[in-house]
Amino acid sequence: MERRTIGAAALGVGAVGLGCMPMSWAYTASEQRGERSLRTVHAALDAGSTLLDTADMYGPFTNELLLGRALRGRRGDAFLSTKVGLLLGDQHMVANGRPGYVRRACDASLRRLQTDVIDLYQLHRADPEVPVEETWGAMAELVSAGKVRALGLSAVGVAGPRRRTGADPHEGTIRQLERVQQVFPVSAVQAELSVWAPGALRRLVPWCEARGVGFLAAMPLGSGFLTGTLTPGQGFEPDDARARHPRFTAEMMAANQPVVAGLRRVAARHGATATPAAVALAWVLRQGRHVVPVPGTKRPGWAVENAGAAALRLTDADLAEIASLPPALGSWD
């Protein structure tokens, strides 16, 4: 697989990564099977998807434990990214950026992942009660201690809100980035980017490119919608995050079918093996050499299919057709 470089530290990864969250959290609990997830990780590594993305919150903790098992004997094949700073409360998520907590959380992640070093340690969310410079400083100390190789900042939840008002949803993220850059270099930013959520292209992706910062594209397949495998009205399990998401109502899924239809038309021009998912990922890859899509999956076959998107070369005509697709409908809040 094509290799791409993340950040000033020149960390090399496969052009398509693997999001591990669905293996143990947020999506279709009945399909979360440990042994199949292990095979999925191995299939991704074999296909060249070396960047494995997780977080201590996923589960919580069970996703890191799973990766620790999966990487026994294969740690050298993987680029391991995990996150800190977000906890599950009784009814909502709670940020914790206190330096002492960050240090303890890193040690706990290292134990669960069964590794001596985390390749990329990301701040999952900034704590509004703690200056972000203090949190980032504690993370920088982990680099000096040899526990972490590089630092990143996650802005996964902010790609869609406020788009209706015309405001840039990433303005706050950019301000945070400019503050922490004064403390220690940012190697990567993770935020949503896909055909139906292109908001990061407005300022955040260019900001990263201009500064040599890698951009990890979260949810590049629109939480499964852009694969064309979801049917309007099919319903989701109660604990599936999409069951409560405005864009995944039967009405909105039906209204957004023209987006998938357009991806199918482009895929058809590239042969029988091309899929809407591959086209969606190839589109993300075309947004810059510093961009690495991180599609999540829990099935080996889909991990291999996603990795294959790195070889799909979209033409100018393909890109023009995708650009002409109607914007996705429905709130993304």
pLDDT of residue 332: 61
How, if at all, do strands 11-14 and 3-6 pair? Answer: antiparallel
Phi and psi for 98 in degrees, rounded to 5? -65, 135
C-alpha span between 17 and 220 (Å, rounded): 11
**Any idea which residues carry the catalytic annotation?**
58
The C-alpha torsion from 26 through 27 and 30 to 34, rounded to 10°, is -80
Q: What is the pLDDT along the chain (333 residues), one digit of tens a residue?
A: 999 998 877 889 999 999 999 998 656 665 556 799 999 999 999 999 999 999 999 989 999 999 999 999 999 999 999 999 999 866 678 999 999 999 999 999 999 999 999 999 999 999 999 999 999 999 999 999 999 999 999 975 443 433 444 567 788 899 999 999 999 999 999 999 999 999 999 999 999 999 999 999 999 999 999 999 998 878 788 888 888 888 999 999 999 999 999 999 999 999 988 999 999 999 999 999 999 999 999 999 999 999 999 999 999 999 999 999 999 998 765
3-state helix, strand, coil in the chain (%, to 5): 45, 15, 40
Beta strands 93-95 and 86-88 are: antiparallel
pLDDT at 240: 82
pLDDT given at position 164: 42
CA–CA separation, 126 vs 133, rounded Å? 10
- Chain centroid, CA 255 distance in Å: 25
- Residue 43's pLDDT is 98
Predicted TM-score (pTM) of this structure: 0.94
What is the Cα–Cα distance from 9 to 310, expressed in whole angstroms? Answer: 23
Tokens of 90: 């009784």
> What are the residues whose beta carbons fall under 8 Å from the beta carbon of 248, sequence distance 6 or more?
223, 225, 236, 242
**Residue ranges with strand state E in 55-103:** 79-84, 86-88, 93-95
Distance CA 194, CA 196 (A): 5
Place of tokens 């791409």: 4
- For residue 48, what pLDDT is reported? 98
Return the exposure string of 4-39: e unless at least 16 CB atoms fall within 10 Å of the residue's CB, then b: bbbbebebebbbbbbbbbbbbbbbbeeebeeeebbb
Write the CA distances from 78 to 12, 115, 189, 230, 274, integer angstroms: 10, 11, 19, 30, 26
Q: In this structure, are strands 118-123 and 79-84 parallel, antiparallel, or unpaired?
A: parallel
pLDDT of residue 163: 42
Domains of the chain: 3-220+288-312 (3.20.20.100)
pLDDT at residue number 261 = 97
Mention every residue, 6+ apart, whose C-beta is less than 8 A from residue 305: 275, 277, 278
Q: Report the distance separating Cα 280 and Cα 231, nearest Å.
A: 18
